[in-house]
Chains A and B, each alone.
Chain A
Amino acid sequence: AQSVTQLDSHVSVSEGTPVLLRCNYSSSYSPSLFWYVQHPNKGLQLLLKYTSAATLVKGINGFEAEFKKSETSFHLTKPSAHMSDAAEYFCVVSDRGFGNEKLTFGTGTRLTIIP
């Protein structure tokens, strides 16, 4: 069975400071991992994905995430927060098993940017 745990339900950072959103995963197979972002009253948008190539994955809007197998983590970072980054962020895992592939979403982390 696959699952993700987002360690913080809410993160607040000041504009211009680094962002760290934490995610741990559990997977029976070699996982694919994603981060999606949901802005208020909008659908989800893919930020980045890891599918067993480079362990450091770069996404849109300056975000990146590092896959660490030894720590079963896939934390999302950004060097400098912008007001437009305020949103809900979801860590997602997909088992690359046989059949019935599906994405499992974490409970989300709400990111607040302080002016």
Chain B
Amino acid sequence: DSGVTQTPKHLITATGQRVTLRCSPRSGDLSVYWYQQSLDQGLQFLIQYYNGEERAKGNILERFSAQQFPDLHSELNLSSLELGDSALYFCASSVGGAPTNEKLFFGSGTQLSVL
């Protein structure tokens, strides 16, 4: 068990809808990272927050947004969903803000299916 909690584990929704994925980092970790894993794109970095502030941005679509709250949990909001958004979404956490120097701890992921 990595100590990173993601909810829900599975999510089934329809095109055009909006969903929210939640992540609770390990106790004491200040950084939260979001990744998308799909068969055709592999594991893609979306965005990182450190202590409530956006730290780094990857290939995140404009329809997607995230935030990190004062208690350090994070939410990833996906809107106007398309079939291609179906993927496994991972959250990871680390103590510091520079992934180069950190060990990332990954949650078990949220499997999103858009029908």
Interface residues of A (CB under 8 A from B): 32, 41-46, 49, 51, 90, 94-96, 100-108
Contact = CB atoms under 8 A, between A and B. Distances in A.
Contacts, number: 54
Nearest to B104: A46
B2 A103 contact: no
Interface residues of B, number: 24
A44 B56 contact: no
27 contacts: A32-B100, A43-B2, A43-B4, A43-B107, A43-B108, A44-B43, A44-B90, A44-B106, A45-B2, A45-B106, A46-B104, A51-B100, A51-B101, A90-B43, A94-B100, A95-B100, A96-B100, A100-B56, A100-B57, A101-B100, A102-B48, A103-B45, A104-B45, A105-B44, A105-B45, A107-B42, A108-B42
Contacts of A100: 56-57
Given A103-B104, A106-B42, 13 more contacts: A32-B100, A43-B92, A43-B106, A44-B92, A44-B106, A46-B103, A46-B104, A49-B103, A94-B100, A95-B100, A102-B99, A105-B43, A108-B42
Nearest to B35: A105
Contact of A94 (B2, B99, B107, B108): B99
Interface in B20-64: 35, 42-45, 48, 56-58
Given A32-B100, A102-B56, A103-B99, A41 B108 contact: yes
